[in-house]
C-alpha cells in the first residue's frame, strides 16, 4: 500500500515537531517532576497534516474530498483557513506512528512497549478529565476530526495485534535461548571439570618433577660444597705458605737494607775523606798552571749527591739498590777525580822539574847549537852539491827520512789499537761516551777557522783541558777522558786527524785559515808532544809529499790502491780529478808550512819550537833534490814558499840569501 511506504517519513516529521524534541533528564524523579509533563500541553497540527492524513487513509479522504467540494462553495472561509494551516489541537495519541517500526531486538521492543503503555496511561488521564480540545468550526472540520479518530483507532488495534504477536515471539525466543544457555552451561561445567582434572594431574606431575630436580640440585650442591671446601683448604695452605715466604722476604729485605745502609755510610765517609784530598795544598798554591776549582766543584757535587741518599734511610726507611748504585758511582767518580788530580799534580811537578833542567841546559846548548848549525849547514850544502854532481836528482826519500816516516806511522797504528775496545763498543752507554768525546775533541778545532784573540784562546784551552784529563763542557754536557781508560788515546787520535782534515778542507778553500789553525796546533804540540807525532802521521798518510816521499808502486798493488797511497780519493773505482787533488794537497802543505812557522802566542815559555824552521829547510832541500813530479812539485813548492816568504826574507836575508834565491830558481824551473 502507498501509506506503508510513508511510515518512516511520518515518524521523521513527528520527530522534528516540538513534542518530538522533548528532552529527558535523569533528575526528574529526584525533583518530583513528571517525566511526560511536556505532553500535557495542547498540540497543534502542522499545515501539512491534511496531506499526511490523505495519504494514510484513502477512503475517509474521499469523503472528505467530496465534502470539501460541497463545502468549498458554501464556506470558502473554512477552506482558506485549512489551506492557511489553522491550528487544530489534537491529542498526543494522534501524532503517533500509524504503522509499526522496522524489526528491532527483543529487549528493545519490550522497552518500547512499556514506554508506550506508560505514555498512554499518562496522556489519557488528563484528556478524559479535560474537555475536548477540538473546536468544530464547520462540518468539514468535524468530519476531518472524525476521520482522524477512526484512523487512530484502526492503527491502535493494528498495533495491539502486532504487539501481542511480537510478545509471543519474544516468549518463544526467550524459552529457546534459555534452553540453549542451560545446555551450554552444562557443557561449560563439564569442560571446566575436565580442565580442573587435567590441571590437577599436571600439577602433580610438575610437583614430582620439581621434587626430583630439587633432590638432584641438593646432591649437586653437596658435591660443590665438598669441592669448594677442598679448594678453600688448598688456598688456606697456600696463603699460609705465602705469608711465611713474605715474612722471610721481609726479614731478608731488612737484612739487605741494613747492609746497604752501612755501605752507604761507609761510602759517605770515604767520599768526604777523598773530598778533603781535592783541596789545594800549600805547595801547589804557587803553581798557577794547576787549577783545583773544577775538581773541588765536582767533589762538592758528589758529596751532595751522596748526602741526599742518607736522610731517606735515616727516617726508618732502608736505601734502595738504586741509591746504593748512585752512591757507588759517586764514589768511583770521586776516586777518579782524586787520581786525576794527583796525576796532574805529579805531571805539573815533573814539568816544573823538567823546565828547570831544560832552562839550565838551554843556556849550555844554545851556543853549541849555533856553532853546530853553521857547520851542519855548510857541510850539508857541500855534500848536497857533491852528491848532486855524482848522482844527480833523487827519485825517493833518503833512508833516515823513510825511517822517521815509518816510525810515525807505527806510532799512529799503536795509538789506534790502544782504543780499539772503545771504538768497537756495542753497549749504548759506551757508544754515547765515545760520541761525546769525539764531539768535544773536534768541535773546538772546527770553530778555529778565521777567529783570533779570546775565542781562539778559549778553543785552545778547551783542547788543552781535554788532553789534560780535565772535565770539559761540550754541547751542554760535561765530559772527561778519564771516564774511560782508553779515552785519552781516542781523543788524541781524533784531534790530530781533525787538524789534518781542517788543512785538507778549510785551508784548501781559505788560505788565511792556515795561520790560526797552525798556531793552536803548534801550541798543543808543545804541551802534548804525542799530538804532534799523530798530526805528522796523519799528514804523511794523506799527503806523502809532506815527508817528502814518492811511494813506489810495489808488485801486486792495484792501480786504485796505489792512487790511494799517493793521496788521491777513490770512490766506487772513480779517482778524483787532478784539480781537486792539487787543491787538497795545497791546503795540507800550507798548514804544514804554517805549523813550522807559527807558535802559540799566549805561552810564557821561550823554548825551541817543537817542529821549527830547521824542519822546513830539511823539507825544502829534500824536495828540491828529488825528481820533480808534474803539477805536484810545482804546486806544493809554491804553496810552501808563499807561506814562508816573508819569514825567510827576515831571517835569512844576510846569511842564506844565496840559498834562498837558489830555491826560487829551482821553483821557477819546476814550474
Grid coordinates representing 129?
Answer: 478529565
The CATH number of whichever domain residue 440 belongs to comes to: 1.25.40.510
Tell me: do 414 and 556 sit in the same domain: yes
Q: Are residues 407 and 341 in the same domain?
A: no
Co-location of 445 and 500 in the same domain: yes
Among 598, 599, 582, which residue's Cα sits nearest to residue 639? Answer: 582
Helices (H) and strands (E) in the chain, counts: 22, 6
Asked whether residue 597 is assigned to any structural domain, the reply reads yes
CA distance 144 to 148: 6
Retrieve residue 533's grid coordinates: 807525532
In angstroms, the CA 299 to CA 296 distance is 5
Residue with C-alpha cell 801486486? 556
Instruction: Write down the H helix ranges in 392-504.
Output: 399-418, 420-423, 428-446, 454-467, 487-502
Q: How many CB atoms lie within 10 A of CB 158?
A: 13
Query: Is there a domain that residue 567 lies in?
Result: yes
Q: Are residues 409 and 507 in the same domain?
A: yes
Radius of gyration (Cα) for the chain, nearest Å? 71
Nearest-angstrom CA–CA distance, 443 and 113: 130
Whether 496 is covered by a domain: the verdict is: yes
On whether residue 559 sits in a domain, the answer given is: yes
d(CA 279, CA 266): 21
pLDDT at 424: 82
Domains held by the chain: number: 2
pLDDT of residue 282: 57
Q: Is residue 213 part of a domain?
A: no
Q: What angle do CA 263, 264, 268 make, to 5 degrees?
A: 120
Let me know whether 354 and 420 are in one domain: no
Indicate whether 207 belongs to any domain.
no
Strands 570-571 and 477-479: unpaired
Q: Are 318 and 423 within one domain?
A: no
pLDDT recorded at residue 48: 57
Which of 611, 644, 659 is the last residue in one of the domains?
A: 611
Asked whether residue 475 falls in the same domain as residue 533, the answer is: yes
Q: What is the pLDDT of residue 190?
A: 92
For residue 360, the 8-state DSSP code is H
**413 and 556 within one domain:** yes
The DSSP secondary structure of 612-665, one letter per residue, reads -HHHHHHHHHHHHHBPPPTTHHHHHHHHHHHHHHHHHHHHHTTTSHHHHHHHHH
Q: Name the E strands within 32-183.
A: 43-44, 89-90
List CB contacts of 290: < 8 A, sequence separation 6 or more: 280, 284, 344, 345, 348
Which structural domain, as residue segments, surrounds residue 477?
400-611
| Predicted pLDDT of residue 647 | 47
Write down which residue in 581, 596, 611 finishes a domain.
611
406 and 302 within one domain? no
Across the 671 residues of the chain, what is the mean pLDDT of every consecutive 10-residue run? 65 73 65 58 54 56 40 39 39 39 42 49 42 57 86 91 93 93 92 93 92 92 93 92 91 84 83 80 55 79 78 62 82 84 83 82 74 69 56 70 89 88 83 87 83 80 87 83 87 91 88 87 88 91 89 80 86 84 91 87 71 87 85 88 61 40 40 41
Query: Are 351 and 486 within one domain?
Result: no
Please check whether residue 587 lies inside any domain of the structure: yes
Q: Does residue 462 sit in the same domain as residue 314? A: no
Angle value at C-alpha 300, between 296 and 304, nearest 5 degrees: 170
The answer to whether residue 193 is domain-embedded is no
Q: Is 101 in contact with 110 (CB distance < 8 Å)?
A: no
Domain stops at, among 585, 611, 637: 611
Helix (H) or strand (E) holding 255, with range, is: helix 139-277
- Are 327 and 429 found together in one domain? no
Task: Pick the closest to residue 497 from 561, 442, 440, 575 (CA basis).
Answer: 442
Amino acid at each position: 500500500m502507498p501509506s506503508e511506504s510513508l511510515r518512516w517519513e511520518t515518524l521523521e516529521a513527528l520527530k522534528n515537531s516540538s513534542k518530538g524534541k522533548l528532552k529527558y533528564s535523569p533528575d526528574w524523579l529526584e525533583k518530583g517532576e513528571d517525566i511526560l509533563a511536556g505532553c500535557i500541553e495542547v498540540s497543534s497540527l502542522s499545515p501539512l497534516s491534511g496531506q499526511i492524513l490523505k495519504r494514510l487513509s484513502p477512503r475517509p479522504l474521499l469523503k472528505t474530498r467530496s465534502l470539501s467540494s460541497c463545502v468549498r462553495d458554501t464556506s470558502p472561509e473554512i477552506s482558506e483557513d485549512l489551506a492557511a494551516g489553522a491550528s487544530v489541537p489534537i491529542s498526543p495519541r494522534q501524532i503517533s506512528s500509524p504503522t509499526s517500526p522496522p524489526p528491532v531486538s527483543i529487549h528493545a521492543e519490550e522497552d518500547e512497549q512499556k514506554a508506550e503503555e506508560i505514555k498512554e496511561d499518562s496522556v489519557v488521564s488528563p484528556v478524559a478529565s479535560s474537555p475536548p480540545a477540538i473546536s468544530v468550526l464547520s462540518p468539514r472540520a468535524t468530519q476531518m476530526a472524525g476521520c482522524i479518530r477512526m484512523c487512530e483507532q484502526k492503527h491502535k488495534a493494528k498495533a495491539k495485534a502486532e504487539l501481542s504477536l511480537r510478545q509471543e515471539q519474544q516468549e518463544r525466543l526467550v524459552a529457546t535461548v534459555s534452553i540453549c544457555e542451560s545446555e551450554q552451561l552444562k557443557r561449560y561445567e563439564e569442560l571446566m571439570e575436565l580442565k580442573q582434572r587435567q590441571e590437577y594431574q599436571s600439577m602433580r606431575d610438575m610437583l614430582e618433577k620439581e621434587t626430583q630436580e630439587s633432590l638432584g640440585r641438593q646432591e649437586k650442591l653437596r658435591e660443590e660444597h665438598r669441592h669448594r671446601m677442598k679448594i678453600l683448604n688448598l688456598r688456606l695452605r697456600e696463603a699460609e705458605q705465602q705469608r711465611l715466604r713474605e715474612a722471610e722476604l721481609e726479614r731478608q729485605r731488612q737484612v739487605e737494607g741494613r747492609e746497604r745502609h752501612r755501605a752507604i755510610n761507609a761510602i759517605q765517609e770515604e767520599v768526604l775523606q777523598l773530598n778533603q784530598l781535592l783541596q789545594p795544598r800549600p805547595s801547589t798554591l804557587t803553581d798557577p798552571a794547576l787549577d783545583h776549582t773544577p775538581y773541588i766543584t765536582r767533589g762538592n757535587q758528589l758529596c751532595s749527591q751522596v748526602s741526599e741518599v742518607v736522610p731517606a734511610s735515616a727516617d726508618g726507611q732502608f736505601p734502595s739498590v738504586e741509591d746504593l748504585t748512585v752512591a757507588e758511582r759517586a764514589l768511583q767518580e770521586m776516586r777518579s777525580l782524586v787520581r786525576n788530580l794527583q796525576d796532574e799534580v805529579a805531571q805539573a811537578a815533573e814539568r816544573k822539574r823538567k823546565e828547570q833542567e831544560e832552562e839550565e841546559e838551554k843556556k849550555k846548548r844554545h851556543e853549541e847549537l849555533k856553532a853546530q848549525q853553521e857547520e851542519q849547514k855548510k857541510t850539508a850544502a857541500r855534500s848536497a852539491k857533491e852528491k848532486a854532481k855524482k848522482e844527480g836528482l833523487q827519485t825517493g826519500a833518503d833512508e833516515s827520512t823513510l825511517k822517521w816516516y815509518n816510525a810515525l806511522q807505527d806510532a799512529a797504528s799503536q795509538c789506534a789499537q790502544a782504543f780499539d775496545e772503545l771504538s768497537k763498543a756495542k753497549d749504548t752507554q759506551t757508544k754515547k761516551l765515545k760520541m761525546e768525546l769525539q764531539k768535544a775533541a773536534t768541535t773546538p778545532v772546527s770553530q778555529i777557522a778565521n777567529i783570533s784573540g779570546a775565542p781562539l784562546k778559549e778553543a785552545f784551552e778547551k783542547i788543552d783541558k781535554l788532553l789534560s784529563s780535565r772535565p770539559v763542557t761540550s754541547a751542554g754536557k760535561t765530559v772527561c777522558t778519564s771516564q774511560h781508560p782508553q779515552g785519552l788515546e781516542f781523543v788524541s787520535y781524533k784531534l790530530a786527524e781533525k787538524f789534518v782534515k781542517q788543512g785538507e778542507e778549510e785551508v784548501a778553500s781559505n788560505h788565511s785559515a792556515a795561520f790560526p789553525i797552525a798556531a793552536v796546533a803548534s801550541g798543543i804540540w808543545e804541551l802534548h808532544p804525542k799530538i804532534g807525532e799523530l798530526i805528522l802521521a796523519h799528514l804523511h798518510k794523506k799527503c806523502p809529499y809532506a815527508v817528502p816521499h814518492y811511494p813506489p808502486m810495489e808488485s801486486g798493488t792495484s792501480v786504485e790502491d796505489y792512487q790511494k797511497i799517493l793521496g788521491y780519493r777513490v770512490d766506487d773505482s772513480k779517482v778524483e780529478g787532478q784539480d781537486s787533488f792539487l787543491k787538497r794537497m795545497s791546503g795540507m802543505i800550507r798548514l804544514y808550512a804554517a805549523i813550522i812557522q807559527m807558535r802559540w802566542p799566549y805561552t810564557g815559555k821561550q823554548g825551541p819550537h817543537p817542529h821549527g824552521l830547521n824542519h822546513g829547510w830539511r823539507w825544502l832541500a829534500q824536495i828540491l833534490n828529488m825528481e820533480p813530479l808534474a803539477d805536484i812539485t810545482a804546486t806544493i813548492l809554491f804553496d810552501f814558499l808563499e807561506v814562508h816568504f816573508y819569514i825567510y826574507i827576515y831571517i835569512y836575508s844576510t846569511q842564506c840569501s844565496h840559498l834562498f834565491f837558489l830555491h826560487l830558481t829551482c821553483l821557477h824551473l819546476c814550474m
